[in-house]
Structure 1
Amino acid sequence: MHRSEARQQRCRTPPSKPAGRLGVTACLLALLTTSASPALAQQPSPPASGSAPPASPTAAQAHADAPASPDGAKDQPTPPVAKNYVPPDYPPEARAAGKEATVTLQLDINRDGKVLRAVVVEPAGHGFDEAATAAAEKLDFEPARKPDGTPFAARILYRYTFSLEPEKPKDDPATEPREPGVSTQRLSGIVLAEGEIPLAGASVTLTPSQADASPLALTTDETGVFAFPTIPPGKYRLAITMPGFDPLEVLEEVAPGEQIEVKYRLLPVGDGLEVTVRGKRPPREVTKRTIEQRELLRIPGTNGDALRSLQNLPGVARPPAIAGILIVRGSSPQDTQTFIDGTPVPLIYHFGGLSSVVPTEMLEKIDFYPGNFGAQFGRGMGGIVDVALRSPKEDRIHGLAQVDLIDARVLVEGPVPFLKGVRFAAAGRRSYVDAWLGPALTAAGAGVTQAPVYYDYQFMLEADVTPSARLRLTYFGSDDALELLIDEPSPNEPALTGNIGLHTAFQRLQLRYDHELTDKDRLAGVIAFGKEDLDFGLGPFYFLLDNLSVSGRLEYTRRFFQGVTLNTGLDIVWNDATVNLRAPAPGRPGEPPNQPFSTRTVQELSVSNVLYRPAAYAELELVPTPRARLVPGLRVDYAKDTQQWTVSPRFSGRYDIVQGFPRTTAKGGVGMYHQPPQPQEVIPPLGSPNLRSNQAIHYSAGVEQEITRQVEVSGEMFYKQLDSLVIGTPQENGSGTEYKNLASGQVVGGEFLLKYKPDDRFFGWAAYTLSRATRTDRPGEPPRLLNFDQTHILTVLGSYRLGHGWEFGARFRLVSGNLTTPSVCNVQDVTCDPARTNALYHAPSGVYTPIPLTGPGSERLPIFHQLDLRIDKRWKFTNWQLSAYLDVQNVYNNQNTEGIQYNFNYTARQFVSGLPILPSIGMRGEF
């Protein structure tokens, strides 16, 4: 029988009778090739497992069974063959609780036999998933080969079985050491370097599992051979050390009468696999929050929409009602950038924030950086949302259809017929709020011409051009429209009649290329051609934007040696925009400031401009010790509209105060960030061409602490210093607005997250953010709160699988009220003066123009709180499955305040409530 363990090959002489095998077992389940015909790996019979856990279980020993080649393999590709075996650590909590489990992993193995990625496909929870993933990334394989012997990349399933070994009686001969000379067991082997070079003088230490037994030590001879000729049967820990090579430690078990010959291979220092915690690469940024697939689909209050789940993370404020925007750490929405597979997009939510522009079913993951992001991102001072689209399934044709009260969607994916290694995905979604809301509003006399309606669509073709290179062509887009009819003009605006309409749309044609050049070199690039349209109409006035864009990103990664990796790249954005505007002109000198804007002189403009903003960046990932990771970076940007070069140095670091479990990590970073002005602020005739970029410096420091294998807590303090902010100033001649870099500001706060990582039953977290964001509009003026400041943000959510296809979840939010600028004081405030003049009367039009009570953002609305519930049910059939959900927002129908409404002459006011209880029912079928 042939086995492979820990960079070894062994030949066993069968003992007189089989010995029981207990502990952690691993076997190759199946081989799914990516560029050649699939070859199936034979699955060996698993070893026997103990029927019940002992009171004091021993450490589990590991075995790996390599697959045998199928019959007639001469004209078939051969699957990967394990060259080593790495035993996973048995989770202490699970072992103490007597839990056993099986974890199935999907391993991506390159043409050199290295494990590039390990993903759990059949999780077990209780720490088993993390232990299996961490061990699997240390595996080494003989690569899969074509019939002509050419190696190629492959994807396999690999299973770890965690089982506890019952404690044997003390008089069991299999555990009792035997007297020297009586036993006939033998352990011998050879130690090799890469290239089958024998290593002479390597230290080999064999330590028996018995506590009172002494270790045996020797060195290899000139041919790299060693031998322990007579040893008792039992378990041993074998350690090999050699200067210039990574140490190797494996577990061995010798059965009575067994003769073992083993071949071990040592890896030179710097050429070994880089293994990280839980199989995940440490972030290049101080804080990177990744939402896993199960969490994306089941967060209550989001209707199963993955991108809406971002609003539940620390540092993200609650947006105003029906506003599809992201507010990160007190910054304005335009300060946060969103990317889809590396391509910037102008918006991430449909109208009103009802849904995101990419359906959850198309997503692989969402990476969210609330601040201190790396040098690969720029042109923003807030946060970064990086959405990754997943690869289409390639085993067969799959599909789904879903309907709920808001929209309907379909998805079809699978291999392209007659094109080997090519797969596709096509999806589309349309809302039908207009189908039931439009007639209801018309019947109520609301004068609706078109109720809100949105579309989005995605099409993807993906191919493996070589065993280590992937090419993806994607086309995606979004379209939103809303139109209302004004039957009678408002008293405040007597000249304003007609329709109010808003239409936004964008499309992207994207080509993405990823190539694993060697084990140390990687090249990734994406280029996208885009189009954006924005049409806004208000009676006789309009704003029309037509923009063509090209964006591209190319990154090259080089690992020079262990602990030193360079990431360098280019990031380019080009825009050709045309704006047509018909709007009231600014007030002329001497005109009263309180007259209706619709009665002013009308101005018409048509402006075309080409903008380009290239950038280059470089970033080093330094791992001076296994505990530390340091990431210095530098980014250089140029903006054609301001003709300004900006240099943005950045640095972040992480240090494991306690390695292993429970891990304690300290982290921190500082970096400079530049954001060009908005086009309307800098392009004449509306803008001022002498502007500079807005500037921010991010500081942050925090700690991450594992409590159990499933529970972790993190805290982070942050500070953002804002300078050279653009602000509009009315021109002295009254002809318009002049923009200058006069404003400054700061954001200070802390984020805290207590998270229970998803297991087979439960996931959830509690997130709290405390922050204060202020701004000084001009030098010498007092600071004021930023418009989107929210002092307290608390979110608690969780979801639990009840069994039999049922899952129940809840979310509770408690948030400080939004800021508003009142025109009438609150009568409940002791400082309120009821005799104050709140408005000016305009005799020609007969209307009142309000006078702001104080400066902007001077009053905070009442506290927002809301409970959302979700329940899911799934039915599985032979070839398909059906699921249904009920998602109820604002369960106890709290009348949350979203604004203030005034009477006609601004002598009284009342609060305006947000959405009431809002249930949503959905059905989904999948095959």
Structure 2
Amino acid sequence: MAAAKRIIIGVLAITCTPLFAANEIAVIGETGETIEFGTAIVVEAKYKANFAEGKLILPAQKPGKYTLKLTAPGRITLEELVTLPLKKKLTLVMPLQTRRTQKVRLITHEEKHNVARHQLQQHELKSVPATFGDNISALATLPGVNRPGGIFGPLIIRGAPDTANRYFIDDIPVINPQHFGGFQSVISNELIDDMTLFSSAFPAFYGQALGAVIDIRTIETVAKPTATIQTGIISSNAFYAAPWSVFSPKLVAPAETASEEERKAYQDAKRKAEIDTGFFSISGRVGYLSLLVPPIYKVITGKEIIAVPEYYDYQWKARWYLGEHNRHAVSMFIFGSYDTFTLIRKLSEEEKKERVEQGENPAAGDLTVFNDISSHSQSATYDYLPSENVKMRTMLFNTLIYSRFYREAPGRALGTIDVNTRPNITGLREIFDIHYMNRKARLKAGVDYQLFHFNSSGVTQQRKETIPQGQTDFNNPDHFDVINIAALGQNHQFSAYADNRFEFGGFFITPGVRSDHLVRSKETTLDLRGLAGYKFTTNTTFAVSGGHYSSFAQTNAYRFNQATRREARIVTSDDLRSEKSLHRSASIEQEIGFHVFKVEGFYNNLYDLAQTTTSAQQAEGILYANTGGVLTRGVEVSYRKSLQENEDGYFGWISYTFTRADISGIAGSFPFRFEQRHVVKMIGVARWGAWEFGARFELFTGFPYTPIIGSTCTPGYTCDGNPTTTLYTPTYSTAVNSAQFPLFHRLDLRITRKSTYSWGTFSWFVEFINVYNNEPQLRQSFRNSEPYQEGRNPRILGPSTPLNLIPNFGLEWKF
């Protein structure tokens, strides 16, 4: 029996060619049976071929050592270093694939949610230019996804505020998915198995989101030990994973003189060793912007950076299979992050004066700011697979955030802010995944309970809601509210949900329903959602989706983590209703091989959003009301070309997105400040052997802003031209966000080389972000020492700390 679990590969004849001999390879089993088909790869020659009926012909190669990889169904891949051309017969042995593994995850995306869904493969995440090797940053290359900071910043998806989005890592709700709200993600790329973006109209499985959902799934199995070390200009990352069998003693094959009992004992021990008992992984990242970024910034701009963010994160995951046939599994997952600012130096008096001359408000003075944020999440999961078509998961999780924001500034209006927030979420979830009707139908359902505990304290200041965005006068204390924060409370939420997909020929439909109950407000929501479509034999798919979505403002942890906001007190509110949204999407998609053309339209209403009330209402004790709203609508047109990992060729995507987003509330109705009406994205990566060449071009209209239309002499000043007695206050238009900053475009280039060795691979990349050094015009600068003058004061300028052309490099060792 043992003989049937091995392959013998014999290298036979050498045929004559003008230069070097070709090689004929025979592939057989240990007992002499012919292997019907398989694949062979000569790594250094970048050659890949299939073989059939046990015979493979490789073309002639230059004499030397080559890494040969052989795969066949049911067999473990063999990787061997051989010398070509072969001068004598060579026999290699490949064991059968006998390890029992969890091949199907409990929660997968195989339901093919056809509308408002995008998915990136791991190799695509790593190859896209200007992402700093970050998985979440790569999402910004997709249609309908933009970032206020261009390269960094939170994701604005289909015109909805970033606080309307929800992130999940293995079903754990994540409050801070990225360092500093939009830098690098808090989880290692190597730990991620896949990542899916639901731009809108997402299934009932996901709750408490009004805009979009980002679902991140980590690895579920590890076949052999693997390690990765990545280092770059801003951070380094390390990852290691291995099956638990790595700790088992190595088996030694019995000698030829061994007894039958010894041979039988060896075979029994070998079978036990081949059973997959699970795996573990450990990874982490450390950022060091203060080490390399300040000198690079000074070389490029001639200026010095005042402060830079510093951060680190960690992840540990383990899985154990229990019992026969691996029907029982227990997993543990722990991850966390820490963010802070490192003050490089304080502003000199000359720099303060220069900033005032460039339009900075003198009342702001020399700010002292720091923000420490740490997050810690953990989960324990039990999976049970009673049959191939039924899967059950029980999950217990907890997420804790600790944040302190401190800002000290001279001046009447800008005072001291010192806020501590500590939201804590604990949940218990039961998920069912059932296939029936010969797997033509699939039910995903679940129930969960979550306990929310919030503790916020300190003092902060916030622009009054009656002062529209962009019209705040930092010299006027009447434009600000001083808020003492003392919010301590908890809430309980119960949820139930179900999505049921049916397929009949080319037709598919997924009705869904979700209900959530919040104990504090005694409100129960009922949201109906659905997806329907038809896939023609021409691989043309038409689909529509939509639904109703609810989110309780009292348990919106994103609000509590914004230390400068007054909304921490919402947790104590018993009268606020749930915030709502209504999504509608329709798409038509055409697949031609690895090419996909898609057109999708969307129309989304976010309403009953919680907002602070007017001064008169607050005097009556009514602090918040469901008076806010957002209306977004648009269309996305895209073309995508896919490519398998390690396959030569090209992949990429091109998209155009039109978006309108309007905000409504007590201050009126006006365009959303992060609306980008027209966006064009072009991403392409060509892979040729060991080399990859990537390019990314983006063109988009500028953000809206409220124009300055005049100025007045500030009370207490004479404005006679004397610097000590002259201070003008700008007058803003009553048409909020009625102007747009100029259109901006950027080109990023990247070169990557990957070399294969006997121990693994080594890769390096060099990229240039914004290669032609185009500076975005994104701020309105008013000189307070001069009166308003059209075309001269104010001016439209670039960022106050510009770094437009950004060089970046990175190294990766994979073992």
Please tell me the TM-score bracket, short chain as reference.
0.7 to 0.9
- Shift of the 694–838 alpha-carbon distance from structure 1 to 2, 3 Å rule, reads farther
Aligned match of 1:770: 658
Mapping of 1:179-328 within 5 angstroms?
Answer: 281-284=110-113, 286-321=115-150, 323-328=152-157
Unmatched tracts of structure 1, length 5 or more = 1-30, 32-37, 52-64, 72-81, 89-98, 110-118, 123-142, 146-151, 157-272, 274-278, 825-835
> Which residue of 1 is the match for residue 329 of structure 2?
470
- Measured in 2, the distance between the counterparts of 1:323 and 1:768 equals 21
Return the offset for 1:641. Answer: 4.4
Matched, 1:639 2:518: yes
SS at match of 1:372: coil
Instruction: Confirm or deny: 8 A CA contact 1:687 1:739 kept in the other structure.
Output: no
State the partner residue of 1:892. 772
Q: Which amino acid aligns with 1:517?
A: P
Shift of 1:839: 6.6
Aligned length: 675
1:541 to 397, 412, 417: 417
- Aligned position for 2:311: 454
Paired letter, 1:545? T
Residue in 2 aligned with 1:851? 731
The alpha carbon displacement at 1:324 in A equals 2.4
SS at match of 2:623: strand
Aligned in 2, Cα 1:107/1:476: closer, same or farther, shift over 3 Å?
A: farther
Q: Which residue of 1 is the match for residue 284 of structure 2? A: 428
Specify the code of the residue in structure 2 equivalent to 1:729.
Answer: T
Q: Deviations over 1:886-918 (max 9, x none)?
A: 021101111122222221246212223253110
CA contact (8 A) 1:322 1:352 kept: no
Q: Distance in 1 between matches of 2:549 and 2:582?
A: 6
Structure 2 residue 623 is matched with structure 1 residue 738: yes
- Taking the aligned partners of 1:506 and 1:428, their CA distance within structure 2 comes to 14
Change (3 A) 1:734 1:518: closer
Describe the shift of the 1:675–1:596 C-alpha distance in structure 2 as closer, same or farther (beyond 3 A): same
- Normalized per residue, which structure has more helix? 2
Q: Distance in 2 between matches of 1:839 and 1:378?
A: 51
Q: 2:447 corresponds to which residue?
A: 570
Match of 1:520 in 2: 389
Mapped contact 2:459–2:484 kept (Cα < 8 A): yes
CA shift for structure 1 position 649: 0.5
Q: Distance in 2 between matches of 1:390 and 1:424?
A: 10
Match of 2:508 in 1: 629
Larger Rg: 1
For 2:102 and 2:624, the matched residues in 1 are separated by 56
1:662-741 equivalences in 2 (<5 Å): 662-677=538-553, 678=556, 684=569, 689-707=574-592, 709-732=593-616, 738-741=623-626
Task: Provide the rounded CA distance (Å) in 2 between the counterparts of 1:793 and 1:441.
Answer: 29
Q: For the structure 1 residues 838 and 703, does the alpha-carbon distance in structure 2 shift closer, same or farther, using more than 3 Å as the test?
A: farther
Q: Assess if the C-alpha contact under 8 Å between 1:683 and 1:689 holds in 2.
A: no
What letter corresponds to residue 740 of structure 1 in structure 2? A
Farther-moved stretch of structure 1 (535-544 vs 556-565): 556-565
Contact in 2 for aligned 1:107/1:155 (Cα 8 Å) = no
- Alpha-carbon deviation of 1:471? 2.4
Q: What whole-Å deviation, never above 9, does each CA across 1:192-239 have from its counterpart, x for those lacking one?
A: xxxxxxxxxxxxxxxxxxxxxxxxxxxxxxxxxxxxxxxxxxxxxxxx
2:643 alignment partner, one of 755, 758, 761: 758
Please tell me whether residue 837 in structure 1 is matched to residue 724 in structure 2. Answer: no
Deviations 1:523-549 (A, max 9, x none): 124322221012111113211112222
1: distance between equivalents of 2:486 and 2:726?
Answer: 34
| Residues 682, 690 of structure 1: 8 Å contact kept | no
In 1, distance between residues paired with 2:474 and 2:101? 72
Match of 1:403 in 2: 231
Q: Which moved more, 1:598-607 or 1:901-910?
A: 598-607
Are the equivalent residues in 2 in contact too, given 1:686–1:737 (CA < 8 A)? no
Aligned partner of residue 882 in structure 1, secondary structure? strand
CA contact (8 A) 1:790 1:818 kept: yes
Aligned to 2:458: 581
Q: 1:374 to 1:712 in 2, by over 3 A?
A: same
1:791 corresponds to 2:695? no
Give the direction of change, closer, same or farther, for the CA distance of 1:839–1:693 in structure 2 (3 Å limit).
Answer: farther
Q: Any conservation in 2 of the 1:764–1:799 contact (CA below 8 Å)?
A: yes
In 2, Cα distance between equivalents of 1:602 and 1:682: 13
Give the SS at the match of 2:6.
coil
Tell me the percent identity.
23
Would the aligned equivalents of 1:343 and 1:526 in 2 still touch at CA under 8 Å? no
- Give the CA deviation at 1:739: 2.3
The yes-or-no answer on 1:811 pairing with 2:696 is yes
Pairs within 5 Å for 1:484-503: 484=343, 485=346, 499-503=368-372
Tell me which residue corresponds to 2:413: none
Equivalent position of 1:872 in the other structure = 752
Q: Deviations over 1:267-292 (max 9, x none)?
A: xxxxxx9xxxxx98232463321111
The whole-number CA distance in structure 1 between the counterparts of 2:403 and 2:383 is 33
Q: Distance in 2 between matches of 1:921 and 1:583?
A: 40
Separation in 1, partners of 2:480, 2:639? 56
SS of 1:308's partner is helix
Indicate if the aligned counterparts of 2:529 and 2:547 stay in contact, CA closer than 8 A: yes
**Cα distance in 2 between the residues matched to 1:903 and 1:663:** 60
Corresponding residue number in structure 1 for 2:43: none
Task: Please point out which of 232, 240, 252 is paired with 1:412.
Answer: 240
Give 2:529's match in structure 1, choosing from 645, 650, 658.
650
1:435 counterpart SS class: helix
The farther-off stretch of 808-817 and 462-471 is 462-471
* CA pair 652-324 structure 1, distance change in 2 beyond 3 A: same
- Measure, in 2, the Cα distance between the counterparts of 1:476 and 1:925: 23
CA contact (8 A) 1:307 1:360 kept: no
The one of 178, 189, 197 aligned to 1:349: 178
Q: Give the residue type in structure 1 aligned to 2:535.
A: D
Q: Cα–Cα, structure 1 residues 492 and 810, in superposed 2: closer, same or farther, change >3 Å?
A: closer
Partner secondary structure for residue 395 of structure 1: coil
Q: Is contact 1:457-1:478 (8 Å) kept?
A: yes
| Matching residue within 379, 392, 397 for 1:510 | 379
Please give the alpha-carbon distance, in whole angstroms, between the structure 2 residues aligned to 1:438 and 1:776.
41
Is residue 335 of structure 1 aligned with residue 164 of structure 2?
Answer: yes
How far apart are the structure 1 equivalents of 2:135 and 2:282? 18
C-alpha contact (below 8 Å) 1:682/1:688 kept by paired residues: no
Structure 1 pair 734–839 and aligned structure 2 pair: CA distance change class (3 A)? farther
**2:796 maps to 1:916:** no
State yes or no: 1:862 paired with 2:731. no
C-alpha separation between the residues in 1 aligned to 2:479 and 2:391?
A: 61
SS at match of 2:290: helix
Give the gaps of 5 or more residues in structure 2: 16-26, 39-47, 53-69, 80-95, 249-272, 409-415, 467-471, 561-565, 719-724
Question: By how many angstroms is 1:40 displaced?
Answer: 7.7
Instruction: Indicate how the Cα distance of structure 1 residues 107 and 855 shifts in structure 2: closer, same or farther if over 3 A, else same.
Output: farther
Higher mean Cα deviation, 805-814 or 575-584?
575-584
CA, structure 1 residues 618+388, in 2 after alignment: closer, same or farther (shift >3 Å)?
Answer: same
Q: Distance in 2 between matches of 1:796 and 1:633?
A: 35
From the superposition, tell whether residues 526 and 70 of structure 1 become closer, same or farther in structure 2 (CA, over 3 Å).
Answer: farther
The one-letter code matched in structure 2 to 1:775 is: I
Give the Cα separation in 1 of the matches to 2:463 and 2:605: 34
Q: Say yes or no: does 1:902 pair with 2:782.
A: yes
Moved more, 697-706 or 633-642: 633-642
Give the 3-state SS of the residue equivalent to 2:247 in structure 1: coil
AA aligned to 2:123 is: R
TM-score, normalised on structure 2? 0.74
Distance 1:324 1:501 in 2: 18
Alpha carbons 1:768, 1:794 under 8 Å: kept: yes
Looking at structure 2, the residues matched to 495 and 913 of structure 1 have their Cα atoms a distance apart, in angstroms, of: 20
Question: CA RMSD, aligned part only?
Answer: 4.2
Q: Normalised by the size of structure 1, how large is the TM-score?
A: 0.66
